[in-house]
Structure 1
Amino acid sequence: MKKLLNFLHQLFLRPSTRIGLGILVTGGFLAGILSWQGFNTALKATNEEAFCISCHTMHDNSLQELKNTVHWSNRSGVRAYCADCHVPHDFTDKIARKIQASREVLSQILGDIDTREQFLDHRIVLAQREWARFEANGSKECRSCHDYDDMDFEKMKPAAREIMRGAAERDQSCVSCHRGIAHELPDVKGGHNPAFDPLRSAASSQSVQSGQTYYLAAPQELYAEETLERKIGHIEMATAVKVLETKGDAQRVELLLWRKNKGYGRVWYSQFGLNITNAILEKEVSRDAQTINVLDSREDALTGLEWQQVQVAGWIPKNNLIDSQEPIWSIARSTYNTSCSVCHRQPQEAHFDANTWPGMFNGMVGFTNLDNETAKVILKYLQNHSSDFSNATH
């Protein structure tokens, strides 16, 4: 061991007695060049598309999605490769991204995203990381091709021209509006919005009296018996219900709504003639006269359809009611003003009537990452504050 330590000391710490200083410097210089060239060669190789899709997860998922977009094939013949979007062009940022990407490589090796199902489960996490990176750097990689200074706004369609000019004035990140243009968007339908948690907390402490009207703090299934076993329908959030009685962990409630007298009439609405969905009944009970009471019937002059005022009683789990819709609308209003104003100035609530809002909103919501529950509540808020309920001019 002592001899080994002496040898290492002689080799690295003491001046050479056999090799000239010039040779050592020259050799070190050449070794440095070779090392740097090797590093750059390896760096370039890992930027090639062949490397990116060498694992079947990327080849079978991301590549196949890219092939269906204009970034793969278009009239100009210019293609965007993986590294063009996902590898920063600046050297320092590029190295940082390479280090970050090592965890994705590790996940592939460990089999965390080895199947299509696993990839879809992880897609929201992967997408949010890239969205955050693009937001932080102003979508620098996108703008190496699509720069605001080089855009001819007069050649755009009028609606796009207005939006893009506003984005250019704010120097807005491209990914704020343009998501899902090269790969499919994550499925956020089962996502959870923590903004609703205070509503559930308030519902758990809400004092409920029989004969009074309350509002659902969360979507609930409607059951035939207090045992909560046989489902007869589904009630949407913010729907008004009249409490009839409470037994154990269940409450019997009454719904008084409207339906169109066509088909099974499963979808129930809050107002006559307005498509504001509040409940959906199971097919086998929606026309059961023993369960459903028809109180009124009238024709909608605009559509010629017959509408019926209907009533049903059923059971829901207790501790899910609050005494006002306003806390729900407050959350919906705040989310609408923040999530729906990223790309352009959102319309005022009273700009459309209740039956127009679903088509308008569904055309916009695809460009957001709102979960299904939040999207439903925002639409319901917009419909309940539409021109049908407002005297405001627009």
Structure 2
Amino acid sequence: MGIIKRIQRTLYNLFLRPSMKIGLGVLVTGGFIAGIIFWNGFDAGMKYTNSEEFCTSCHTMADNVYPELKQTVHYRNRTGVRAYCSDCHVPHNFTDKIARKVQASREVWSHLTGDIGTREKFLDKRLELAQREWARMSANGSKECRACHDYEHMAFEKMDIMAEMEMRGAAQRNNSCIECHKGIAHQLPVVESIRNEDLDKLLANANSEKITVDQEYFNVLPQPLYLDETLSESIGSLEVATEVRVIEKIGDAEKIEYALWRKNKGYGRVLYGEYSLNTVSAILEKEVAKNEAFNVLEVKEDPLTGLEWQKVTGTAWVKSGGLTADVAPIWEVANASYTQGCSTCHVQPDIAHYDTNTWPGLFAGMVGFTNMDEDTSKVVLKYLQLHSMDFAKKNAVENHQ
């Protein structure tokens, strides 16, 4: 008990006992003034660290992202209203702002250690830095952006028709701005193509699949077409998910028969899976297409273009190991790649929203912002085309009948 009493007495003398030399009013007033001075100093420091002068004081920002900002509408526009670094990258709410300042210590350390001290180092790290900021803005619903850009006060009718359609949909879904506008103020990172391991697995499964003569199969990935079983002379290429019939097997070669459509114009080198739809299924060498004695099964004229389309059959040889009896796994990989790869810049469009012949142009404009390799992009495009508006309508009619 004596120890406890001594502790209580010590605490009282330190914190509760009135000063014998300085009046209580003086202490309170002095503390109040000291608090004001501290807060003003703290506030001034916060404001300075939010200033453009501070943000561009290191060469990493001044030499890399700041020049990019100066080329955008956020820096210079007809109204003279501009966004500063802190407007987008520092939360406006006090608590979140303090948390962000604490997190910034990691960036200060990277600057001091030269982690991104050169242009080359910055570009190597750019994707990682961008993804970290995108994730932060996605998590808070792009709160900083929406301090100025608010769905509720947008005049959608003043936008062009495509922008209006996208923005009305985004408003209904309450999308985060960063989902569609990742490159709005700074250049997008250069994304290197990454080999899709799932496609390699599909090809490995196809390689172990037992092929039966007189059965239909689907081509997994683009592969050469050959003149004969020696596979010595290439005559073209067989494209993704093209349906063929195996009619002969010799060693490591398989003879296939195809029934595809061609436009009766020029050499007719490109063969399509469907009438009037640009779903590329095979591409023949010019001399082969010129001299090939196609067996024409059907002829139709496209009323929209006036072009004559011919359904033809032909044969060629392929190397064993590239065909599969089930196309569903190919579409599963394609759907996963589309869902993951095409969310870099925006929410993916509904596949059935566009027709088959529109998708190639749209996809060509998007794929450059992804890390898809060439084979993956071909698989995804064919998937989009064969699940487009045209096929959704076709399936709906067949189901109704």
Q: What's the TM-score once normalised by structure 1's chain length? A: 0.68
1:326 aligns with 2:328: yes
Is the 1:84–1:141 Cα contact (8 Å) retained in structure 2? yes
CA RMSD, Structure 1 to Structure 2 (Å): 5.1
Instruction: Output one character per residue of 1:312-332: Cα deviation in whole Å (capped at 9) or x when no partner.
Output: 64658x5x6532222222444
Distance 1:114 1:279 in 2: 49
Distance 2:112 2:226 in 1: 47
Distance 2:182 2:368 in 1: 7
CA shift, 1:348, in A, is 1.9
Instruction: Output one character per residue of 1:199-232: Cα deviation in whole Å (capped at 9) or x when no partner.
Output: 45644653445786644545668999x9x9x999
Q: Which stretch shifts more, 69-78 or 95-104?
A: 95-104
Corresponding residue number in structure 2 for 1:54: 57
Instruction: Output one character per residue of 1:234-264: Cα deviation in whole Å (capped at 9) or x when no partner.
Output: 76543457695565xxx77869678889999
Matches within 5 A, 1:226-265: 237-239=240-242, 244=249
Matches within 5 A, 1:81-96: 81-96=84-99
Corresponding residue number in structure 1 for 2:361: 359
1:136 aligns with 2:139: yes
Distance 1:315 1:104 in 2: 53
Distance 2:54 2:335 in 1: 46
**Can you give the 5+ residue segments of structure 1 that lack an aligned partner in the other structure?**
1-9
Distance 1:56 1:235 in 2: 51
CA shift, 1:163, in A, is 3.5
Distance 1:125 1:234 in 2: 38
Matches within 5 A, 1:121-132: 121-132=124-135
Residue 350 of structure 2: SS of its match in structure 1?
coil
C-alpha distance 106-213 of structure 1, shift in aligned 2 (>3 A): farther
Counterpart among 147, 150, 170 of residue 147 in structure 1? 150
Distance 1:58 1:233 in 2: 50
C-alpha distance 83-321 of structure 1, shift in aligned 2 (>3 A): farther
Corresponding residue number in structure 1 for 2:6: none
State the AA in 1 paired with 2:150: D
Is the 2:226–2:316 Cα contact (8 Å) retained in structure 1? no
Distance 1:33 1:172 in 2: 41
C-alpha distance 88-386 of structure 1, shift in aligned 2 (>3 A): closer
Corresponding residue number in structure 1 for 2:292: 294
CA shift, 1:47, in A, is 1.5
Corresponding residue number in structure 2 for 1:175: 178
C-alpha distance 191-62 of structure 1, shift in aligned 2 (>3 A): farther
CA shift, 1:297, in A, is 8.9
C-alpha distance 136-314 of structure 1, shift in aligned 2 (>3 A): same
Residue 183 of structure 1: SS of its match in structure 2?
coil
Matches within 5 A, 1:266-305: 270=273, 274-278=277-281, 286=285, 294-296=292-294, 302=305
Q: Which stretch shifts more, 272-281 or 180-189?
A: 272-281
Q: Which stretch shifts more, 110-119 or 42-51?
A: 110-119
C-alpha distance 177-388 of structure 1, shift in aligned 2 (>3 A): closer
C-alpha distance 113-180 of structure 1, shift in aligned 2 (>3 A): same
Is the 1:273–1:300 Cα contact (8 Å) retained in structure 2? no
Counterpart among 320, 331, 350 of residue 346 in structure 1? 350
CA shift, 1:137, in A, is 1.1
Looking at CA atoms only, which structure, 1 or 2, has the larger radius of gyration? Answer: 2
CA shift, 1:84, in A, is 0.9
Corresponding residue number in structure 2 for 1:3: none
CA shift, 1:90, in A, is 0.9
1:63 aligns with 2:66: yes
State the AA in 1 paired with 2:185: A
Distance 2:225 2:112 in 1: 46
Corresponding residue number in structure 2 for 1:382: 384
Residue 294 of structure 2: SS of its match in structure 1?
strand
Matches within 5 A, 1:6-25: 20=22
Residue 391 of structure 1: SS of its match in structure 2?
helix
Instruction: Output one character per residue of 1:143-171: Cα deviation in whole Å (capped at 9) or x when no partner.
Output: 11111222223333344334433333333
C-alpha distance 176-221 of structure 1, shift in aligned 2 (>3 A): farther
CA shift, 1:355, in A, is 2.9
Counterpart among 86, 97, 110 of residue 100 in structure 2? 97
Distance 2:52 2:349 in 1: 38
Distance 1:255 1:103 in 2: 61
